Amino acid sequence: MSLIKTFHKWLSLLVGLQLLVWLGTGLYFNVMDHDKASGNQNRQRVESPAVDLQRLIEPKTVIREYDTTVSMSLITLLSHPYYLLIHEKGLYRHFKNSYSLVDAVTGKPFVITKTIATVIALESYKGTATVAATVKLTGPSDDFPKEQNSLWQVNIDDDLNTSVYVDAGSGRLIGHSNDDKRFVDFIFMLHFMDYASEGSFNNVQVIVFAIFTLFFAFTGLIWTVELGFNGQYRPALLLGRKLAKTKKVKVFDKHSKSIGQLAMASHENLLDSLLNHDIALPSTCGGGGTCGRCKIVVDSAVKMTSADRSQLTEQELQAGYRLACQHNSDELEQLTLVDVTEAETHELELISSEFISPYIKQLRFKSVSGERVEFRAGAFMRFFIPAAKGSSIPAYLPVELLHHWQDVIHMEYEHLACSRNYSLANGDGQTDELVFTVKIQTSPNERVKPGIGSSYICNLAPGETIEAVGPFEEFYARPSSSKPMVLVGAGSGMAPLKALIEEQLIKNTSSRELYFYFGARSQLDLIYSEHFQQLSDSYPNFHYLPVLSRPGQDWNGATGYVQDHLGEELATELEKALDKTEFYLCGPAAMMESTIELLKSHSIADNAIAFDKFE
């Protein structure tokens, strides 16, 4: 199937413009004025008087004189009878023919001279006309490209630049042409790709393009059918939110007890629909179909998406398990909840929003209701980003950061509503504030929108509010443990680790050993470094170990990648206590993967490693 799609895309590049030409010229043929297209606006019928048969000489005499004759017919030219003898007969009149003309009364040969041709032409012309020129054409003419005989072209001096064509051998009026017809011929030339003006649609280029187009149309059709099978032609997708249907879906809890009929709109996925009824399913990917957490049970006939297949086992799929984020209310009548997070929706008010590095902001929120939102360190909340207009560059940039943003392309864009998860960065339990550190995802180039969630939330002004559901506690320190903790973070993936550290040191006043390996690019990206320095000064059991991959000058600390540095220390200082150490990881996927690999190579058990995925 992907081959079909690839073909379709490449063929579109190849034949796309020609397809527009075909459609455009096709439309022209559909709407054009056929009278104009004929080229006959100034043509009139030539009325010939009846021939006085008595005066004609015997055909036998003429044929004998001219010998090789396939046929001889009596014609009238300029009101006078002539015998037209055909010596070599083409299959059609426009094919090569060889003629003689003989005066049918006198028996004298007759030749279509320039003057005769002009008079024959004018006889067929409506009204009076001035002849601009009469030219003999021996090759094919532009107006009658298929004509293989030599022709007289009589050009009339009129508004339409009429040309009249007379067969130089037989005196037959071939036809009229004018600028209107020439324009139509030009459109035909484009439609037939007849760039050599052969008056033919059997040329090589059109055949090649036709074959490519054939494949193009078939691959497109196959794709369309596939989209249909994948449910991409649901009316709600076309009509959008305004006309989306809302329907009641019966919802049961995990003990099959009915919760009631809940209204769900077809334009949003079930994960969001349930959230509207304050039923929060676990989800760490926010509805992308990549975390596999938002399981529900539905009728097993509900189609499986590729995300369902990759996140659920075959047994689960057969039993009707699906991911709520992959389906909507159109597809089902009822659903059963498997796992519900006891999370509430909170309206949060922004207290402050400040840059702590060129691209990372610390955002402090408090609950509008005034009630304290309790959470375990390491938790995250899911924010509802409403549909809005966004900007790639924050509205209020401190002067000292301007130079970091000058290469970021300025874009204004609109985005749809979505939800985004952000980890809480505070864990000391000292305030009722909810603190988040959010990196504004800038776009790598003008083709890509910046992160719409991060841009939206970082552009909120203090005093503004936003809805968030949670907290969701999926990453946390193992309770009542006094084993040493090694925390490994990188980039902006430090928020939940910071919360864990504060929880251990300040809230729990734990004396367990804490090693915090934090990787960043340069000093500028070492967020909260003063804070951690102070903590390590105040708490001898806390070890702050920043590692810079691209340090500037005056850096005395470790350099390289954080996982490499950790590797060295695992082999030396940490070696003795390895089997009873807990590891907490949070950072970019590549760093996490290589760290987990490293830990496994040191025979560290899976259950001693906790990680928080960060994409």
Block residue for tokens 């496994």: 600
User: Taking CB under 8 A as the rule, does residue 3 contact another protein?
Assistant: no
- Return the range that interacts with another protein (CB under 8 A); candidates 11-19, 107-115, 314-322, 592-600: 11-19
Exactly one of 30, 256, 315, 553 binds another protein (CB under 8 A); which one? Answer: 30
Minimum CB distance to another protein smaller for 288 or for 560:
288
Using CA atoms, how far residue 367 sits from 345, 507, 569, 610, in Å, is 10, 21, 42, 29
- Return the range that interacts with another protein (CB under 8 A); candidates 135-143, 224-232, 342-350, 561-569: 224-232
Exactly one of 35, 44, 73, 369 binds another protein (CB under 8 A); which one? Answer: 73
φ, ψ (nearest 5 deg) of residue 183: -65, -45
Minimum distance, C-beta of residue 77 to another protein, in the bound complex (Å):
14
State the binding string over 84-113 for another protein (x if CB under 8 A, else -). ----xxxx----------------------
Q: Hey, is 361 helix, strand or coil?
A: strand
- Return the range that interacts with another protein (CB under 8 A); candidates 220-228, 388-396, 593-601, 602-610: 220-228
- Helices then strands (H, E): number in the chain? 16, 27
Exactly one of 36, 41, 43, 69 binds another protein (CB under 8 A); which one? Answer: 69
Q: What does the DSSP assignment read for 271-296?
A: HHHHHHTT-BPP-SSSSSS-S---EE
d(CA 117, CA 131): 12
Minimum distance, C-beta of residue 127 to another protein, in the bound complex (Å):
29
Name the token pair of 37.
């297209």
Amino acid at 511: S
Amino acid at 18: Q
State the binding string over 310-329 for another protein (x if CB under 8 A, else -). ---------------xx-x-
Helix, strand and coil percent figures for the chain, each rounded to 5: 35, 25, 40
Strands (E), 109-199: 109-110, 131-137, 151-156, 163-167, 173-177
Minimum CB distance to another protein smaller for 170 or for 269:
269
Minimum distance, C-beta of residue 575 to another protein, in the bound complex (Å):
30
Number of residues this chain uses to bind another protein (CB under 8 A):
113
Exactly one of 131, 190, 237, 338 binds another protein (CB under 8 A); which one? Answer: 237
User: Taking CB under 8 A as the rule, does residue 265 contact another protein?
Assistant: no
- Return the range that interacts with another protein (CB under 8 A); candidates 53-61, 296-304, 530-538, 549-557: 53-61
Minimum distance, C-beta of residue 125 to another protein, in the bound complex (Å):
24
First to last CA, the chain: 28
d(CA 111, CA 93): 18
d(CA 20, CA 26): 9
Exactly one of 217, 304, 578, 608 binds another protein (CB under 8 A); which one? Answer: 217
Q: Name, in order, each residue with C-beta under 8 angstroms of 494's C-beta and a sequence gap of 6 or more.
A: 425, 437, 518, 527, 528, 586
By C-alpha distance, which of 333, 267, 336 is closest to 297?
336
Do the Cβ atoms of 338 and 295 come closer than 8 Å? yes
User: Taking CB under 8 A as the rule, does residue 418 contact another protein?
Assistant: yes
User: Taking CB under 8 A as the rule, does residue 392 contact another protein?
Assistant: no
Minimum distance, C-beta of residue 595 to another protein, in the bound complex (Å):
15
Minimum CB distance to another protein smaller for 442 or for 510:
442
User: Taking CB under 8 A as the rule, does residue 614 contact another protein?
Assistant: yes
Site for another protein, residues 324 to 363, rule: CB under 8 A? 325-326, 328, 360
Q: What angle do CA 590, 594, 600 make, to 5 degrees?
A: 150
User: Taking CB under 8 A as the rule, does residue 426 contact another protein?
Assistant: no
User: Taking CB under 8 A as the rule, does residue 27 contact another protein?
Assistant: yes
Minimum distance, C-beta of residue 36 to another protein, in the bound complex (Å):
13
User: Taking CB under 8 A as the rule, does residue 544 contact another protein?
Assistant: no
Q: Hey, is 119 helix, strand or coil?
A: helix
Rounded (10°) angle between helices 204-229 and 2-31: 120
d(CA 289, CA 333): 22
User: Taking CB under 8 A as the rule, does residue 169 contact another protein?
Assistant: no
User: Taking CB under 8 A as the rule, does residue 190 contact another protein?
Assistant: no
Minimum distance, C-beta of residue 135 to another protein, in the bound complex (Å):
28
Side-chain-side CA neighbours of 509 within 13 Å: the count stands at: 1
User: Taking CB under 8 A as the rule, does residue 187 contact another protein?
Assistant: no
Minimum distance, C-beta of residue 429 to another protein, in the bound complex (Å):
20
Exactly one of 170, 269, 341, 367 binds another protein (CB under 8 A); which one? Answer: 269
Minimum CB distance to another protein smaller for 220 or for 567:
220
By C-alpha distance, which of 388, 485, 484, 404 is closest to 440?
404
Do the Cβ atoms of 359 and 456 come closer than 8 Å? no
Site for another protein, residues 463 to 502, rule: CB under 8 A? 491-496
Q: Is the dihedral of CA 189, 194, 199, 202 positive or negative?
A: negative
- Return the range that interacts with another protein (CB under 8 A); candidates 204-212, 312-320, 331-339, 560-568: 204-212
